Amino acid sequence: MASLLTGLSRLNRVLERLLHWLLLALLLGFIALIVYQIVSRNLPLLPRLYWTEEFSRFAFQWMIMLGTAIGVLHADHFVLEAFPQGSRIDRATRLIRDLACLAVGIIFIVYGKDFALSGLRRHSTASHLPMIYVYSVFTACGVFVVLYALERLLHTALYGLDSMERELNTPNELDDIAATDDTPHSVIERGNAP
């Protein structure tokens, strides 16, 4: 089991790096297309390219879905902090969160595949791009979410929830401040406020 987790972790680190570069490229393309749209509306010298609006929208959709997958890996996207930290119900909700992410990823793969295939028969209005390139974002997101949720759940099963969160979660600034704060109460709480 530990070797499976090691292999999955290595795969996910590579995929995460690739996603970061892909997201950066999508963001730069998105910004360039939006800037061109604005400039071409105000300068009659530049032709109006109607496909730029479609491509910027498609890039935005891909950025949202792929960013969501990375958010699942680091628990940045789906967080519920309604219960005292460390309590049984808090720990249960954190485990349920990862199971729910796995379920959503599976749903995205199963139903996203058919949705993507329906894009073979459709084309975008301005660019005539086959919509499979746009519709397949749900399947791609589902694959990443499943891989990342499986890593979180497998790490939890082998080493415990706290170890998994130390290893994978994005550090919470408030927890870091509380851990390094030597004083039990802040200046304001002691009544020394200006």
**pLDDT tens by residue, 116-135:** 999 999 999 888 999 999 99
pLDDT value of residue 188: 47
Q: 10 to each of 13, 21, 109, how far by Cα in Å?
A: 5, 17, 22
**pLDDT tens by residue, 16-74:** 999 999 999 999 999 999 999 999 988 888 888 889 999 999 999 999 999 999 999 99
Q: Return the C-alpha torsion angle 37, 40, 42, 46, nearest 10.
A: 180
- 186 pLDDT exceeds 80? no
Q: 144 to each of 47, 88, 114, 176, how far by Cα in Å?
A: 39, 29, 18, 29
**pLDDT tens by residue, 64-102:** 999 999 999 998 876 667 888 888 998 898 899 999 999
> Cα(37)–Cα(19) distance, rounded to whole angstroms?
26
Strand ranges for 20-89 from DSSP E: none
